[in-house]
Structure 1
């Protein structure tokens, strides 16, 4: 593929893109030619600054403390239900918004392993995101549990066979990511959940690199618990609150470890002893960030309009085009695709490895190209389907090619 044919291909794909109309709804800046890090932090929607200003002026500034009685108390569950309906495949009353992903993962894991205290092992992926591994290391130290790590291929992911070989009668929980943060490999949630359940174990899923980009069917897949962030493909902004899902029939048995007043059955009773809320609200602890939920509400409306299946189809086209460009433009310089080649097994980012990449980000940033770097030598091209164009993908890969020529 020559540079000219690549340009023609990108333009043709953009012209034919049924979701192309959504790109104009996001904030853009002139000095960024290719934003390829939407899998770390999504662009803000153009309507979000006005929503935040309106909230500060009319809801917070106008209603003051009365806002809690006029809807704020229910906001974590209300936004949670919208997340469930639009992107999680979850019925109402099973998703709540609040805290960070790390804290909610801790709560979910502690609740999962407490379901059967006689079981003393937790299965995880050795290559999972550091927070997931660190949280599990902390829980294991607190409770005297043993961690059983699965070594999955670096350019692949965990499959049901890996899990079947790792679980047993001592397994309390299996904790895995739907999409691997480095390789973008997709794990079969339904199949792995079934394997874990057959061994008598609970399962906790981290959806951070899939929610908003891939169809998710938590209720249909029989998932026990799941968490995820809202600042990647959900475009909630830096530090946006995370979410937690708990299957409806499990909720009465789940006890989370950070017992705060907002998760109590009667928050304003100011009682002497903690009694958890009967529903999903029991996973709240302190006062949730109502302000930080506002951008997420905007993005959920856009995703609902576009449709998750259409978003996934666009994601597949974007990553397939990126792989074509990597093969044609970067492989001759020694770069190696570190993501699955099968589009059905790949999330919405593409990772490429090369020894020169650890020092390349400053030069790419000067060119207005913003990918992501993951050690030891991987560039992640994060392709957010509603805001990323095919032309951006091409411009980004061409800039990487040019920098590899300089480094040669």
Structure 2
């Protein structure tokens, strides 16, 4: 379906209804379509699921190919074909200087990056022409948050698999990759994400395009690090692992520990529950051995006197345990710095509580660093509770 409007916010009017069947549309654009208007006014469409297509569009219909042209099938190769492209879905085209940059969801190779194959990445290819031939560029984002362990193995530190869609955009001289990750325990909850990247283009025939791989973080556009004295929803965590490695078995994710629970509200926001914001996307299943991480906080904002507390808003489950607050790394043997510990006693589980503890060792933490919450519980099989908000506050 193609719709048009004189305003970017609508109202929109469908312009490719079937001439005789009011319940169907006509046109060549297929799965996950994208449209690109070149500098010369020519319009190109890109689409496909496990097979990539591209073609020059007829601007008079905005849905069909330009008369006398044909769609290019296998514009880049799919995962079922030879080559590094391994196209899956989510076509998007950008023109950067004189190069055409095709962004798409890529299905990685088995064992690539030291992990199982997945379509949970965005990759790019580039060309001197809008319909190719293309050269494979590389990965732009891997939403698994892969991390190398001390023994050399690699593990996902966030949702272990799923799908993603997105593209790249330059804002104020800085390039970003926009994408979504998946939260919850299935394929059906998506959380918008953004990360800074670099883009380098060598102009001229055959010139290269080099795009850096973005990092899965909690920052969004706060690229200098999260404000040290702002409270943040726990659901912006960029690291959530359990005592065992999480597993993706389509369409489900299996977690032995922490993960982000999606929440929803439909209707008039003025009639929303008073605790809607508080309880949005909590981190749940916080079993012993779980680690929740936030990349990154701006510790350069810490006062010189070091008088800072940490606050954790949560709904306790009532079991005994503790939350170690670590900077730099969750492991003291890998450079982690213990800032404080929240002790959990048998508690009233009927309402959220805000737990506050003084912070120490701030003088050892410099600049932009990750923050980790390391969970320990007396009953290893039971969550300590749901975590809603985290943040630092100045001591009064």
TM-score, structure 2 normalization: 0.23
If each structure's helix is expressed as a fraction of its own residues, which one has the higher value?
Answer: 1
Q: TM-score, normalised by structure 1?
A: 0.23
Q: Which has the larger radius of gyration?
A: 2
Bigger proportion of residues as strand: 2
Larger relative contact order (Cα-Cα within 8 Å, sequence gap ≥ 6) = 1
